[in-house]
Chain A
Amino acid sequence: MKLKLTWLMTLFMAFVMQFSFAQEKTITGTVTTASDGLPLPGVNVVVSGTSRGTQTDFDGKYSISASAGDVITFSYLGFAKESATVGDLSTINIAMKEDAESLDAVVITGYQTINKEIFTGASQTIKAVDIKMDGVPDIAQALEGRAAGVAVQNVTGTFGAAPRITIRGSSSILGDTKPIWIVDGVIQEEIVNISVADLVSGDPNTLLSSAIAGLNPSDVESFEILKDASATALYGARALNGVVVITTKTGKKNQAPKFSYNSEYLIRDRPRYSQFDLLNSQETISVYRELEQKGFLDYPSVLQGRNGGVYNIRAQAINSYNETSGTFGIPNTQEAKAAFLQPYELANTDWFKELFSMTPTQTHNISFTSGSENSTSFASLGYYTDAGWTIADRVRRITSTIRNNYYLSDDKLKLSFLLQGSIRDQNTPGAQDRQQDVVSGAFNRDFDINPFNYAISTSRALRPRDENGNLEYYRNNWAPFNIINEVDNNYLNIKVFDIKFQGQADYDFNDNLKYTFLGSARYVTSNGEQGATEGSNIAGAYRADETAIVRDANTFLFTDPGDPNALPRVVLPFGGILTESKNTLTTYTFRNSLEYSKVFNDVHGLNVYTTQEYRHADRSQSSFTGYGYQFSRGGAIFTDPDILRKAILDGNDYFFAQETRQREVSLAIQASYDYDKKYVFNATGNYEGSNRAGQSSDARWLPTYSVAGRWNVHKERFLEDSDLISSLVLRPSYGVSGLIADAASNNLAVFQNLVTDRLSPDDRENYIDIVDLQNSELTYERTKEINLGFELGLFNGRIQTVVDVYSRKGIDLIDLIRTSGIGGEALKLGNNSEMDTNGIEFQLNTINVDDSNGGNFRWSSGFNISHINQEITKLRQQTNVFDLVSGTGRGNAIGYAPGSIFSFDFKGLNEFGLPTFNFGEDVDEFGGVDFQDTDNVTDYLVHEGPTLPTLTGGFANNFKFKNWDFSCFISFSAGNKVRLNPSYSAFYSDLSVFPREFINRWTQPGDENFTDIPTIAANQLIETDSESRNRVIRAYNAYNYSTQRIADGDFIRMKNITLGYTFPSETIEKIGLSNLRLALQGTNLFLLYSDDDLGGQDPEFNNSGGVAYPITRQFTFTLSIGF
């Protein structure tokens, strides 16, 4: 096949060389603006139907060669396109009219720049300037609500972490559902590949999940969101999840050198307890008293238990004996003990105040543009600094872009060079990966010190400092803990260095044929350093062995398996733990493409584009954990060798390294024919190859294709002169797109080396595991899509609507199948499942009041809304209960949308105040929960809804009055369900916090008739045998995942309000400036609507601890200067 294509290309080129040139003359002229008659530099002047073109110079003058009868078109962003037919005269002067509609005149697909009039795909252009949220360093967040069909959920506000973005729903069930990002024509790969479900995990590697975190938002010119199969056709087998094309700024020809500087100061609001319905310290202590009555918080267990709060502090005091005075810290009497608790009862600590700061972030950008006849330049330097929303965070980033274009050989040859780099230095609280405990149905994270999570999950009766102002410690993992001390002693620092070189050469063989070469290389490295110093709670936990009880319980101690009678002992006697991690990404892209375009007989437009591309991406990940690193002793290393034995026996790799290699080749051809720009027909074929399956050549290649048409009805004679309808377009398309699923790659059996899990290290051996048996039928995941687009422009484009309706069928999607086991693999991944998606997207842009006729007031609006309906129609995977109820996006079942949430069917409290559920017949309604169950579980679980919103959209209004501008933007989203934070537990401690509704909990028999809030389980219930203990734990976790703990994800958010003032040019010219603007912006201001059940929880944010923070209300002051 590949040879055939090569032949075709050669033939094709032989064919195109046959055309000869007509007789030409030179046309010159001046282009001015219609409104004030000033010359307009940088206007694109093109001979229609050819690729021959030039731009006007400073004085608006141009010169181009054309033949009589040729049509010359003049285009400039923000102005209506003009055209003139070459006649006898050799001078053509043009006055251009400003026009909002023409802003969207071209579609930049990353491969080609196509005139929108003949573009057959569904896409949406978004200007960065329209959506940019000042001061926010990652522009992906700003896409929320802006594009129809694009669901953006800002699941975390931490810098570097990607929002959850899906275009037209998730296209894969187990595979990747993230769209690909194209920056200046090249795929921008993420450093680490994180599934959409894991974006909410809060794990440290989510800090690297945003592909564009290294891109300065100020450098971005525009977005193009490619949605249907026709729009994404050239991306073939990677386009399943849609494509977001980002174009960065560039200089314009014949432009005077211009500097612009802007600085942005962003203040984030501190979260407040008033947002979250939590009990205050007095109420909390009263709950602790009940705990005490129920047999918890007894003296020995709070003194020597794993964790402990105020009761632990009190027990420490009782336990402390003063040699000199001969007294205990406090006497062991009821009165003294009660008195001791009093200051804590009144503490009502505001942890948000302790841990959060309102220090503004600063963004400084300086950019330079200039252009001459033969070259253009753009250079920018950006600096972002964030002293931290919390005391544990800090970010600094420097970005730089240099982009030069050179026009040689009479503009026949254009060379572009792009250098983009960024350096990022970020501190976050030390965080370990979150673990899923499927047995009892919960997520856990060791040593979580995320300040946000800490503030809403730590008792307000605890104090950061005692009466004397000293840090007050309580107990965590058998060791002293104080959050302020801990964030200083347990940190994660990552440094990311990202550099990209890109070069492009465009050569016009003649007016019709253009060759482009593009080469791009990018190298990203991220170095993480996680330090848990000797002063940290982690190191303390490794050293806690004060009593035999602690020693036996402490899992951070080491027991020698070779010595059956050994006692647990400390194996980190000195220093702390330093973990170095490194991720690198090296990518190359090379592309050759050839574009032929010609208009035959003035009406038959033909455009043929062929391209061939090679992509190469190597990723490496490694980490090394150094035990016994003495942070306070200049890094001297003092390691007890047994800590390595402990690490090995626990199954913790104290170092690891791995590499992944991605090689992709794609060959594509696109042909587009139009009849007088009235009827357009487009066909694209793509042939994509990947090394995903390694040495197997089966299914290495995937052909995809699309066919599409476009009828520009407004060009028909009956509408040509209509005053009402300025444009009317119909766009049908059909196509197949694919995805190389990373999840399965076993065209050949996949082997992996492992080490046997035998008790004695002496008995261990290397072994090779067949991770995946061969699946010779494995192929790409594919989606077939029909899209019908309808566009209507009224009143000369002042009202514009776009409606797209689509239906997609996902086939050969990867599925996890429980097999007969006989082949040797009980669970297999294979192309088995199918999914249907239907959706509708609607956009409306209006210019309500126009100022072009001399008025000073302009008001424009943009509204978009889209609805999606997804259903898995074929699936063999038996999803376990935990994935179905936890709402992290892994809940897949036939008949429901991918990533649905289910709930346990809460039945009420029983006579002991314990939660009961309907688990179906013959299953214990209290203890019958099995989080690992996979057998017909949807029979007894209640379907709640999808995790992805089914309805999304936004409403923007922009006002301009004289020098003032004002805009406000509302985003909304609906149709999804949100799992409430898991607040209930089988056992609470003197660290626990309680939601307000806890007041109404079951306290005495009979209460079950009035309340659904379960009681505090008595200690006796928990302390019995492990089986019944686990039953209680599971039942309370089931309550967290029941119909009681779910809310609608619907919200309407006042996303953004901006007020700006631009100084009149006459005023500032006197001080040598060309531009001066001040702006105030408020972002995420408030929720106009959200479900009351959320109790202050943000419907978008998934509080998972680690490095995840919610997006908060923020205010930005921006100063922009041009000179």
Chain B
Amino acid sequence: MLNKILLKFFLLITLAVSLSCDDVLSEVPDNRTTIDSEEKIAELLVAAYPQGAYVSFTQPMSDSAADKGPDAIINSRINEEMYFWRDINDTDSDSPTNYWNEAYKAIAQANQALKSIDDLPDTGNISALKGEALICRAYAHFMLVSVFSKAYDPNTASTDLGVPYVTEPEETLLPSYTRASVQEVYDLIEQDIVNGLPLIEDIYDEPAYHFTKKAANAFAAKFYLNIAEWQKVIDHSTLALGSSAASGLRVVNTADYLAQTYDELSIGYFSSTEPANLLLVTGSSTYARDFALLRYNLTPGLTEQIFSGNNGTNSTWAFRVFGTDIANNVPKYEEYFRVTNQAAGTGFAFTTFVLLSTDEVLLNRAEAYAMLGMKDLALADINLSYSVKTDNYGAGNVLSQSDIETRFALDDPNIFTPYYTIPSDVLPYINAILYMKRAMFHDEGVRWFDVKRHHIEVVHFDFNGNDFTLGKNDLRRAIQIPTDAQSFGIEANPR
């Protein structure tokens, strides 16, 4: 009797345990998060912005860097190699490879958000989050194609090597990817912008670190600037600037501003409360520590060229250049150092970068106006921009159309040679705008993309006076893709 009871008991247990196995084994093993709500999708998107520096390698490639010589305080390999436009395979922070990884990491976050969105009902802010995800994905790909491919040119874009455009979360260990053409990448970016932008809502706790409506439009305008869709540049810029563009700009010529200390200026530059900052990102980078002291950066000669003297308005720039000869700099960065090892003083360094600002949008719009022949509107934007950046700015400093045409006339019409033709009467406007941007966004990595877009020749000198030239169509303008990616079969840029 006992036998039978026990036997039944045993059978019962066997059955029960076997059936409940799968439930038991679904228990989450650790503190991992499950994406199951709108809020968590929003948290995924916080990291859908490339958290890395590109200024660290684009600045030395541009014509806003020169050699300070062996007395310079920081000798950085990335800084040096990029100054001579060499291919490097460094993987540490501030390298092109790091930016590549960070941009694709941002894309993965966005793609995961999009995938998770599909599993949730379309209620609440879901569509706004979808908008943010799409714009984030477009932005990261736009930056990748801008860095690692040739400048956009519709005549060759369908054969130029772009970057892999990723739209799904990776699911296997080592899937293979191939580079899409530049044209395909631009088409996909535009598609994501077109789909995402209308969905964007200003729902963020920290709007300065997200694609608000203004920031998304600012990005769209920048994108269309690259493919010469001037009207779209104007439309999106106008949305990004809002009804009164003047109130949203960074004012650097007031007495209060000029009285600020170096540290106040540094922190204020990337402040999330500064209305001019449309999009900020904090990335793992030592650029805040390095930028003033790097060997290949702002030399006294370049300081003279970029910041000194008449800025075109018969006054001077209000930007304050700090530091001695080998440390000339405009304060824009402050490091956040998260200590991991107090004894050794090691940890992670972070720098916050301004990715999009109203100042840049305003000048992008001016460029579009000029290209469409609307010189008066272009002039108005240029004057507005000057008005907040120029010392002792007054009525006497306001430029007229003829001022532009005389003061910014170019002797050599072939300095700017984008794939489209710039009418000769527009050329002084373009010259003025690029001149202004070079000073305003010094050490922000913006200049390189203008150099690339307009095919500006760059000549670098080393300390011994040897010169090195980056021609207008030099293949090295497309930074080499990471060696690790090459080893997985991603085609290298031709050299």
Task: State the A residues within 8 Å of B (CB).
Answer: 2-3, 5-6, 9-10, 13, 409, 435-437, 439-440, 442, 444-447, 507, 509, 515, 555-556, 561, 564-565, 590, 592, 594, 612, 614, 616, 649-652, 658-663, 665, 667, 689-695, 697, 700, 745, 749-753, 756-760, 762-771, 773-778, 817-826, 828, 830-832, 932, 935, 1025-1027
- With a cutoff of 8 Å between Cβ atoms, the chain B residues found around residue A773 in the complex are 108, 169-171
Judged by a CB distance under 8 angstroms, whether B395 is at the interface is no
From known contacts A6-B15, A775-B173, infer whether A435 and B343 are also in contact, taking CB-CB under 8 Å: yes
Interface stretch (choices B29-37, B118-126, B236-244, B454-462): B29-37
B17 beta carbon closer than 8 Å to chain A: yes
Bound state CA distance, A515 and B8, in angstroms?
Answer: 12
Do A824 and B104 have beta carbons less than 8 Å apart?
A: yes
How far, in Å, is A787 (CB) from chain B's closest CB? 31
Cα(A650)–Cα(B349), bound, Å: 11
CA distance A38 to B34 in the complex (A): 70
Chain B interface category by residue count: 35 or more
Whether A759 lies near B282 (C-beta < 8 A) is yes
Q: Would you call B31 and A689 a contact (CB within 8 A)?
A: no
- CB neighbours of A1027 from chain B (8 A): 74-75
User: Which one of B370-378, B436-444, B469-477, B483-491 is at the interface?
Assistant: B483-491
CA distance in complex: A1025, B290 (Å): 13
Inter-subunit contact A830/B25 (CB<8 Å): no
Please choose the segment from B216-224, B334-342, B385-393, B413-421 that sits at the chain A interface, where 4 or more of its residues have CB less than 8 A away: B334-342
Chain A residues with CB below 8 A from B263, complex form: 564-565
A440–B344 touching, CB < 8 Å:
yes
Given the complex of chains A and B, what is the CA–CA distance between A5 and B14 in angstroms? 10
Q: Mark B54-72, 1 if CB is under 8 A from A, else 0.
A: 0000000000000000000
Q: Output the nearest chain B residue to A828 by Cβ-Cβ distance.
A: B173
A-side contacts of B162, CB under 8 Å: none
Closest beta carbon of chain B to A924's beta carbon, Å: 12
Answer whether A756 and B24 are a contact pair too, CB < 8 Å, given A2-B18, A439-B346, A507-B6: no
**9 tightest A-B contacts by CB?**
A824-B108, A823-B170, A564-B263, A767-B46, A435-B341, A651-B338, A759-B336, A444-B343, A820-B485
The answer to whether B490 and A751 touch across the interface, beta carbons within 8 angstroms, is no
Question: Which residue on chain A has the smallest CB distance to residue B46?
Answer: A767
B residues within 8 A CB of A821? 97, 100-101, 104-105, 482, 484-485
Q: Which residues on the A side are within 8 Å of B14 (C-beta)? A: 6, 9-10, 592, 612
CA distance A392 to B435 in the complex (A): 69
Give every chain A residue within 8 A of B26 (Cβ-Cβ).
691, 694-695, 697
Task: Give the contacts of B174-204 with A (CB-CB under 8 A).
Answer: 174-175, 177
**B341→A437 contact, CB < 8 A:** yes
Are A13 and B7 in contact (CB-based, < 8 A)?
Answer: yes
List residues 76-122 of chain B with CB under 8 A from any CB of chain A: 89, 91-92, 97, 100-101, 104-109, 111-112
Whether B344 lies near A435 (C-beta < 8 A) is: yes
A392 to chain B, nearest CB (A): 19
Would B344 and A437 count as touching, CB distance under 8 A? Answer: yes
Tell me the smallest distance from the CB of A785 to a CB of chain B, in Å. 25
- In whole angstroms, what is the CA distance A750 to B170 when docked? 12
**Taking the complex as formed, is B266 at the interface, i.e. its CB lies under 8 A from any CB of chain A?**
yes
Given known A-B contacts A444-B343, A774-B171, A756 and B46 have beta carbons under 8 A apart: yes
Q: Within 8 Å of chain A (Cβ to Cβ): is B412? A: no
Contact indicator B484/A935 (Cβ below 8 Å): no
Could you say which of B89, B261, B338 contacts A650, with CB atoms under 8 Å apart?
B338
Given known A765-B209, A774-B171, contact A442–B43 (CB-CB < 8 A): no
Q: Does A757 lie within 8 Å of B264, measured CB to CB?
A: no
Within 8 Å of chain A (Cβ to Cβ): is B406?
no
Minimal Cβ-Cβ distance residue in A for B109:
A770
Cβ-defined partner of B10 (8 Å) among A2, A592, A661, A819: A592
Query: CB within 8 A of A1025: which of B24, B46, B73?
Result: B73
* Contact yes or no, B17 A759, CB < 8 A: no
- Nearest-neighbour CB distance to chain A for B62, whole angstroms, equals 24
Taking the complex as formed, is B404 at the interface, i.e. its CB lies under 8 A from any CB of chain A?
Answer: no
Are the CB atoms of A763 and B44 closer together than 8 Å? no
When distances are taken between beta carbons in the complex, the residues of chain A under 8 Å from B321 are: none
- Nearest to A614 among chain B residues (CB) is B17
The answer to whether B17 and A612 touch across the interface, beta carbons within 8 angstroms, is: yes
Point out the residue from B17, B105, B334, B346 that lies within 8 Å of A825, measured CB to CB. B105
B contact residues vs A (CB 8 Å cutoff) = 2-3, 6-7, 10-11, 13-15, 17-18, 21-22, 24-35, 40, 43-44, 46-47, 73-75, 89, 91-92, 97, 100-101, 104-109, 111-112, 164, 166, 169-175, 177, 205-206, 208-209, 261, 263-264, 266-267, 272, 282, 284, 334-336, 338-348, 350, 352, 482, 484-485, 487-488, 490
What would 10 more interface pairs be, CB under 8 Å, given A440-B344, A1025-B73? A592-B10, A752-B33, A758-B282, A759-B336, A763-B206, A768-B35, A773-B169, A821-B104, A822-B164, A824-B104
**CB-based contact A435/B346 at 8 Å:** yes
Q: Which B residue's beta carbon lies closest to that of A695?
A: B26
A751–B109 Cα gap in the complex (Å)?
10
Which of A5, A561, A700, A824 is the one whose CB lies under 8 Å from B25?
A700
Q: Give Cα distance in the complex from A659 to B28, angstroms.
A: 10
Majority secondary structure, B binding face: mixed
Distance to closest chain A CB from B188 (angstroms): 15
- Residues from chain B with Cβ under 8 Å of A817 in the complex: 173-174
Q: Which chain B residues lie closer than 8 Å to A694 at the CB level?
A: 26-29, 32
Q: Are B2 and A768 in contact (CB under 8 A)?
A: no
* Chain B residue with Cβ nearest A657: B31
A-side contacts of B177, CB under 8 Å: 820, 822-823
Is B108 in contact with A759, judged by CB distance below 8 angstroms?
no
Instruction: Evaluate contact between A824 and B205: CB separation under 8 angstroms.
Output: no
Among B170, B264, B484, which residue has the most Cβ atoms of chain A within 10 A?
B170
CB neighbours (8 Å) of B206 from chain A are: 763-765
Shortest distance between the CB of A538 and any CB in chain B (Å): 11
In angstroms, how far is the closest chain A Cβ from the Cβ of B135? 17
Nearest residue (CB) in A for B41 is: A768
Q: Is the CB of A830 within 8 A of B24?
A: no
Bound CA–CA A768/B47 (angstroms): 7
Distance in Å: Cβ of B179 to nearest Cβ of chain A: 10
* B44 close to A444 (CB less than 8 A): no
Let me know if B46 and A765 touch, CB within 8 A.
yes
The answer for the CA separation of A752 and B75 in the assembled complex, in Å, is 37
Given contacts A651-B339, A819-B484, A821-B101, contact A665 B13 (CB under 8 A): no
Which residues of chain B have C-beta atoms less than 8 A from A767's C-beta? 43-44, 46-47
The smallest beta-carbon distance between B54 and chain A, in angstroms, is 15
Task: Check if A820 sits within 8 Å of B112, measured CB to CB.
Answer: no
Task: Kindly state the separation between the CA atoms of A774 and B116 in the bound complex, as whole angstroms.
Answer: 14
Q: Is the CB of A555 within 8 A of B342?
A: yes
Complex: how many Å from CA A667 to CA B34?
30
Q: Which of A564, A820, A823 contacts B264 (CB 8 A)?
A: A564
15 pairs from A and B in contact (CB 8 Å cutoff): A6-B14, A446-B342, A564-B263, A592-B10, A592-B14, A658-B31, A751-B32, A758-B350, A759-B350, A770-B105, A770-B109, A826-B91, A828-B173, A828-B174, A1026-B74
With the chains together, A763 CA to B112 CA distance in Å?
A: 24
Report chain A residues within 8 Å CB of B31.
658-660, 752
Interchain CB contact under 8 A, B29 and A775: no
Complex interface: chain A residues within 8 A of B352 (CB): 758-759
Residue of B nearest to A776 (CB): B171
The answer for the CA separation of A993 and B166 in the assembled complex, in Å, is 57
**B28 close to A661 (CB less than 8 A):** yes
CA distance A764 to B43 in the complex (A): 12
CB distance from B490 to the nearest CB of A (A): 6
> CA separation between A509 and B4, bound complex, in Å?
9
Judge whether A660 and B344 touch: CB under 8 Å.
no
Contact B282 A757, beta carbon cutoff 8 Å: yes
Q: Complex formed: what's the CA distance from A843 to B478 in Å?
A: 66
Q: How far is the CA of A1027 from the CA of B177 in the complex (A)?
A: 39
Distance of A863 from chain B, by nearest CB (Å): 45
Contacts of B24 in A (CB 8 A): 614, 616, 663, 665, 691
Collect the chain B residues with CB atoms within 8 Å of residue A507's CB.
Answer: 6
Which of B34, B264, B267, B488 is the one whose CB lies under 8 Å from A819? B488
